[in-house]
Structure 1
Amino acid sequence: MKIECTIDGKALSLSVNSNKPLSLILMEDVGNRTIISHCRGNACGNCIVLINDEAELSCIIPAFRLREANIKTFESYQKTRQYRDIERAYQSTGNTPCPNCYASKTLIIESILQELTNSTRLKALGRNSPQLRDEKQSEEKLDKKAIIQELSLNTCQCMDMSEMLQIVEIALTYRRRKRVRRN
């Protein structure tokens, strides 16, 4: 099967078995060295990638789901400005995931931040509209249950959820400050 997708900013045309998992495509066909896939599809969470800005377990994503997808691995993500927000949050809290899950937990946090700061809807609303003010107020209240569920994609127990939530909140603060400066 031929699949057209973008991986780490490069448009690729891959000829692979339609059921081949993304983790193997990245390791065998693309030569990515940052993907860790010890569990072979049992969802440990160490093989997280961003697919269209959402955290996904690459070991369970079959090739046929990759058509026209934008895939970002930690290898390219760590070169972005967004990575610095999370890195600073780790430093601020003094907590960092272990080397086995650092990449995947960082990508999960980025996925959460993307969702929380997605301003497409906000830009469509007028700056002074009541709906915009309501949107900003609801944005201030983090849905901790949803965030915990997202963070649970990685099963490593090196950090507890309260530490991870604190990192998300601090990284979100950094991200919002950047967004305000740009506007």
Structure 2
Amino acid sequence: MKIECSIDGKALSLSVNSNKPLSLILMEDVGNRSLMSHCQGNGCGNCIVLLNEEAVLSCMVPAFRLREATIRTFDSFQKTRQYRDIERAYHATGNTPCPNCYASKTLIIESILQDLTNSHPEQTSSSLTGRLRFTSDTNESFDDKNIIQELSLNTCNCMDMSEMLQIVELALGYRRRKRVRRN
């Protein structure tokens, strides 16, 4: 099947099996060598990518779901200004994920930050993964339970959830301060 999508800012037309997982497409067809995919579909969470700005397990996303999608891997994300907010939060807390899950946890945090800085007050269900996507309400508060659910996409135990929540809160503060200065 032919699939038109954007991967790391490049418009691509791929001819792949409709059920081929995104992780294999990225490794075999696109040549991404940094994607960590050890579990081969068992959900370890080391193959996280941003699919339309949502963190997803790339080993669980079949090719047919990629039509007209925008995929961003850690390779391209780490070159953005948004990455700096998360990197600053890691340094400020003195906690950093291990090398095996660093990329995935960083992309999960970015997905959370996208949701928390989103101006839509309603909650929506994601059709790709069936997970609850949360957005900030009018008071811009957020629910730790939803954040923990999102952070649980990566099963590495190198950090506990309280450390991860602290990183999300700090990165969110950095992101919001940037928005205030820009306006």
TM-score computed with the length of structure 2 as normaliser: 0.90
Deviations 1:105-155 (A, max 9, x none): 000000000000013x48xxxxxxxxxxx9442x1x221000000000000
In the alignment, the residues of structure 1 paired with residue 33 and residue 112 of structure 2 have an alpha-carbon distance, to the nearest angstrom, of: 24
Do residues 35 (structure 1) and 31 (structure 2) align? no
Deviation at 1:3, TM superposition (A): 0.1
Question: Greater share of helix residues, 1 or 2?
Answer: 1
CA distance in 2, matches of 1:180, 1:26: 36
**Which residue number corresponds to residue 63 of structure 2?**
63
Given residue 117 of structure 1, which amino acid in structure 2 is its aligned partner? T
Q: In 2, distance between residues paired with 1:74 and 1:118? A: 21
- Tell me the amino acid that sits aligned with residue 72 of structure 1: R
Q: How far apart are residue 34 of structure 1 and its match?
A: 1.6
Structure 2 CA distance for aligned equivalents of residues 176 and 33 of structure 1: 33
Counterpart residue number, 2:97: 97
Partner amino acid, structure 1, of 2:57: L
Shift of 1:20: 0.4
Paired with 1:23 and 1:174, the residues of 2 have a C-alpha distance of 31
Larger radius of gyration: 1
CA distance in structure 2 between the aligned counterparts of 1:156 and 1:68, rounded to whole angstroms: 31
Unaligned runs of 5+ residues in structure 1 are 123-133
Matched position secondary structure for 1:18? coil
Paired residues, what number? 169
Q: Tell me what 1:175 maps to.
A: 175
Q: Does 1:162 align with 2:179?
A: no
- Distance in 1 separating the partners of 2:25 and 2:81: 27
How far residue 53 of structure 1 moved from its aligned partner, in angstroms, is: 0.4
TM-score (norm 1): 0.90
Letter in 2 for 1:32: N
* Secondary structure of residue in 2 paired with 1:59: helix
Partner of 2:44: 44
Give the 3-state SS of the residue equivalent to 1:6 in structure 2: strand
What is the CA RMSD across the aligned residues, in angstroms?
1.2
Tell me what 1:147 maps to.
147
Distance (Å, rounded) in 2 between the aligned partners of 1:61 and 1:11: 19
- Aligned match of 1:108: 108
Give identity over the alignment, percent.
Answer: 82
Q: What's 2:14 paired with?
A: 14
Equivalent residue letter for 2:150? E
Alignment partner, residue 117 of structure 2: 117
Secondary structure at the residue paired with 1:111? helix
Match of 2:80 in 1: 80
C-alpha separation in 2, matches of 1:178 and 1:109: 17
